Amino acid sequence: MVLTGPEAATARAASAEAFTALCGWAASAAATPLPAAVRRRAALVLIDDLGAAVAACNEPEIAAARALELRAARGAEATILAPGAARIDRIGASLANGMAATWAELDEGFRLAPCHAGAYIWPALVAEAEATDATTGAVLHALAVAYDITARLARAFPFAAMTVHPHAAFATVGAAAGVALLRRCDAARLQAAIAGAASMAFAGPYGHALDGALIRNGWTAAGAFIGFRAVDWALAGIGGIASSPFDVFVTSFGTASHPEELTRGLGAEWALADGYHKVFACCQYAHSMLEASLALHRRLGPGAGARVAAIEVETHPRGMTLTATEPPTVLSAKFSMPHAAAAVARRGSGGQDAFAKDTLADPAIAGLRRAVKLIPLATVEPWPNDRAARVTWILDDGSRHTAACRNARGGADQPFDEATLAAKLAGNTAPVFPAMAGVLTALLAPDTDETLWRDVIAAATGVI
């Protein structure tokens, strides 16, 4: 519903008041010790997201984008997480790392709204930290509070339909929040920076992910650049205003407005607690389908996947949007339910190998993609079971075999244990940086808080 007249003015004022309160809390929270559980979650999110970026760093398009930053580099302030671990200016490093942040679709996300807050925050935050000799504790503190700000904005201004992609809508505010908090901006400057960053959010179409437009992976990189400049400009007196988020999201993008989400449970309910982690290298909307498909593999045994002649996938409304049967790029494959269903059937995996470039033209996978039928679930349950799936394999003898998953693992209700995530981190990073997994996993312990972030990166990349 579009707000007009006095109703719109009232809603705008309520939003501005709540946003001001959020920024006031955030500025004070930056000077208050984090609860131990929140600090550990922040560390887990950060190391998982760094690993996801390293997993993608050898993709040819990422290497080409990295070369652009290397040619334009000014100074040696921060590290690019790629072979050679080159150090360049902080903005250039954030652009190079930001391009890799969501490429593999293995980064952490927020379950209560479409938002990958960690991926929006860390590229700029860690570059700033390395450039300014910030401690690991300061990085985790800024990440935790910035995550809360970003996720609350995503909940306060929900899109009625998946039109603007969350990476485009919220990457700028996440990056600005992280940098401003690390710089210990006061409440007024923090608000001006985040509001200014919100005013520079982009109308990146959600459909670009489904269509495989690789610019979608650039939105986290561009968000990092804008986040830096939003903070710099706010400190120079050029910032947004308290109503900027409302003006952008409600007035310009047509979202709903729930200002109470900006302040509900501040300091007691941390958004980090509602994050999820992935072991499948694709859109989270397909994860329950992948869980059900792997259950069929276990039940039917080796060789069954090669005998699948057709697949029926009963899925939730957001799963029904993932319709591409001929994905043109690996990004499109990661947002294609037909591809994911066919690839997991043929390869027995939902990992990166099921979405690699060679799978696009694999005749066994391509043929089965065209035999996948998407069917709306008859009943969609409330959260956390709102992304369920029921999968039926029809084998070459006509027999039908069905498995269901009400809720994929990885969220707060069914979290992966830390050993699983540590193994994922090692698998993502060992081919490029053999020492990285051990160094980053050590950050879960609070006794690393006083370690300089630049020393952590040096040890993790082997560039001492």
d(CA 113, CA 109): 9
pLDDT at 426: 97
Alpha helices in 163-243 (DSSP H): 166-182, 187-199, 207-211, 219-235
Q: What is the pLDDT of residue 264?
A: 97
Check pLDDT > 90 for residue 271.
yes
Q: pLDDT at residue 464 above 70?
A: no
pLDDT band at residue 463 using 50, 70 and 90 as cut-offs: confident
The position carrying tokens 């490093």 is 93
pLDDT at residue 398 tops 80: yes
* pLDDT above 90: residue 390: yes
Average pLDDT over residues 131-159: 98
- Give the tens place of pLDDT for each residue, 293-341: 999 999 999 999 999 999 999 999 999 999 999 999 999 999 999 999 9
| 20's tokens | 């001001």
**DSSP state, 280?**
S
Residue 2, pLDDT above cutoff 80:
no
According to the model, what pLDDT value does residue 160 have?
93
What pLDDT sits at residue 1? 53
Return mean pLDDT, the chain. 96
Q: At what angle do helices 166-182 and 219-235 cross, to 10 degrees?
A: 40
pLDDT at residue 253 tops 90: yes
Output the 3-class SS for 414-428.
Answer: CCCCHHHHHHHHHHH
In this predicted model, which residue has the larger pLDDT, 30 or 260?
260
Six-digit token pair at 35? 């609860």
Are 188 and 242 in contact by the 8 Å Cβ rule? The answer is no
313: its two tokens? 């996938």
Domains of the chain: 5-276 (1.10.4100.10), 284-405 (3.30.1330.120)
> pLDDT value at position 326?
96
Looking at residues 145-158, what average pLDDT do you find?
98
Question: Which pLDDT does position 6 carry in this prediction?
Answer: 80
Which DSSP category does 381 fall into? Answer: P
The kind and range of the H/E element at 394 are strand 389-395
Looking at per-residue pLDDT, the higher value among 31 and 461 belongs to 461
Phi then psi for residue 307, to 5 deg, are -100, 0
State the DSSP H helix or E strand holding residue 373, giving kind and residue range, or none if neither. Answer: strand 372-376
Mean pLDDT for the stretch of residues 419-434: 96
Average pLDDT over residues 237-246: 98
Query: Measured in Å, how far apart are the chain's first and last C-alpha atoms?
Result: 56
Predicted confidence at residue 5, as pLDDT, reads: 73
CA distance 95 to 402: 44
d(Cα 34, Cα 141) in Å, to the nearest integer?
A: 7
Digit-coded pLDDT (tens) for 166-213: 999 999 999 999 999 999 999 999 999 999 999 999 999 999 999 999
At residue 353, the pLDDT reads 87
pLDDT digit string, tens, across residues 47-99: 999 999 999 999 999 999 999 999 999 999 999 999 999 999 999 999 999 99
Q: What is the DSSP letter of 135?
A: B
